[in-house]
C-alpha cells in the first residue's frame, strides 16, 4: 500500500511549451515536479519553426521530454511558409513525435485565414507522409476546420489530436468520426466548463488525451498562475470524474491512448 502512496499513476502531458521564457533556467525543477505528480513524459511543442533547434535541445537534454514542431496558426502570416520537405526532414529526429501545432484561429487572426489554411494543408501532408500525428489548434473556425480535416482525410488518411479541445460538439463529432483524438486541458477543469466536460463525456474514452498547454491555462487550484506539466494531474482527475472512472484506471486509459497515437514515443520508450 505504501508503494501506491508514493507512486501516483503515470500520465503524459501531451502538449506543453517548455521553451517559453516562463520556464527559463527552471527546467530541471519543472521536470522533477512533473515526475513527482506522475507526469513521466511531456511533449513540448515548437510554434515557430526557427525555434526548432532550441526546442529539440530541450528534448535532447531531458529524458522524459519529446517534441513536435510546426507553425502556429496565429503566426502563419508573420512566419515564413514551411514546406512538406522541411517538416519531413525535421521529423527524422528520434524524439520528434508530432507535426504542429497547426490549425486555424479566427478569434485573434481571422484576417490571415487564407495563409492559415495553406499552412494547415502543408502540415497535414507532412503528417500523412511521416505517419506522425497532426496537432491541431482550432479557435472560432469550426466549419472550415471540420471541412479541411475531412477533405484532406479523404485524400489520404492521417492521425490527429485536437489539442486543448474547447470547440463545439459538432467539431468534436467531426474529429471523432475521422478517428481523431480530443485532448483535455485545464479549460476542462474550470467550473464554468460543464458544456466542454459534456462533449468529452460523450466521446469514446479510448480517444482522450490530457495536457496542460503550459505555461497557459492552469487548472484549479492553480488557475490564473503559471501552468506547468505537473498540473496535468489536476485535469486528469477531473477527466476521471467525467468518465465515472477511478483515477488510476483513467490514467492508464489515457496512457494507452497516447501511445496508440504517438507511436514514436511508445517505440522510443521501449528502445530506451
The pLDDT tens digits for 93-137 are 999 999 999 999 999 999 999 999 999 999 999 999 999 999 999
Could you tell me the strand order of the sheet in which 160-162 lies? Answer: 11-16, 39-46, 65-69, 96-105, 134-139, 160-162, 181-184, 208-210
Q: What is the pLDDT of residue 1?
A: 42
The string of pLDDT tens digits covering residues 133-155 is 999 999 999 999 999 999 999 99
Give the start-to-end residue ranges of the domains of the chain: 2-267
pLDDT confidence bin for 271, thresholds 50/70/90: confident
Q: What is the pLDDT of residues 185-228, one digit of tens each?
A: 999 999 999 999 999 999 999 999 999 999 999 999 999 999 99
Burial bucket for residue 151 (CB in 10 Å: 0-12, 13-18, 19+): exposed
State pTM to two decimals: 0.96
- CATH hierarchy code of domain 2-267: 3.20.20.140
> Which residues 6+ apart lie within 8 Å of 141 measured at CB?
103, 104, 105, 106, 113
Amino acid at each position: 500500500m505504501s508503494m501506491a502512496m508514493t507512486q501516483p499513476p503515470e500520465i503524459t502531458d501531451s502538449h506543453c511549451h517548455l521553451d517559453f521564457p516562463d520556464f527559463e533556467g527552471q527546467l530541471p525543477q519543472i521536470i522533477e515536479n512533473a515526475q513527482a505528480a506522475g507526469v513521466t513524459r511531456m511533449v513540448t511543442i515548437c510554434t515557430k519553426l526557427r525555434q526548432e533547434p532550441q526546442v529539440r535541445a530541450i528534448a535532447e537534454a531531458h529524458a522524459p521530454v519529446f517534441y513536435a514542431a510546426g507553425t502556429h496558426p496565429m503566426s502563419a502570416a508573420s512566419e515564413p511558409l514551411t514546406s512538406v520537405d522541411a517538416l519531413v526532414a525535421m521529423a527524422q529526429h528520434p524524439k520528434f513525435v508530432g507535426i504542429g501545432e497547426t490549425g486555424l484561429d479566427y478569434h485573434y487572426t481571422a484576417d490571415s485565414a487564407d495563409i492559415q489554411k495553406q499552412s494547415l494543408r502543408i502540415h497535414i501532408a507532412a503528417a500523412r507522409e511521416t505517419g506522425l500525428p497532426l496537432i491541431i489548434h482550432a479557435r472560432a473556425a469550426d466549419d472550415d476546420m471540420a471541412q479541411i480535416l475531412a477533405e484532406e482525410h479523404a485524400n489520404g488518411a492521417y492521425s490527429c489530436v485536437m489539442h486543448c479541445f474547447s470547440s463545439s460538439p459538432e467539431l468534436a463529432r467531426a474529429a471523432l468520426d475521422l478517428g481523431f483524438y480530443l485532448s483535455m486541458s485545464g479549460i476542462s477543469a474550470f467550473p464554468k466548463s460543464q458544456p466542454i466536460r459534456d462533449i468529452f463525456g460523450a466521446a469514446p474514452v479510448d480517444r482522450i488525451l490530457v495536457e496542460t498547454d503550459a505555461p497557459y491555462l492552469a487548472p484549479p487550484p492553480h488557475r490564473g498562475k503559471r501552468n506547468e506539466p505537473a498540473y496535468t494531474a489536476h485535469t486528469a482527475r477531473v477527466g476521471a470524474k467525467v468518465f465515472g472512472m477511478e483515477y488510476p484506471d483513467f490514467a492508464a486509459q489515457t496512457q494507452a491512448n497516447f501511445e496508440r497515437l504517438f507511436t514514436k514515443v511508445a517505440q522510443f520508450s521501449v528502445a530506451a
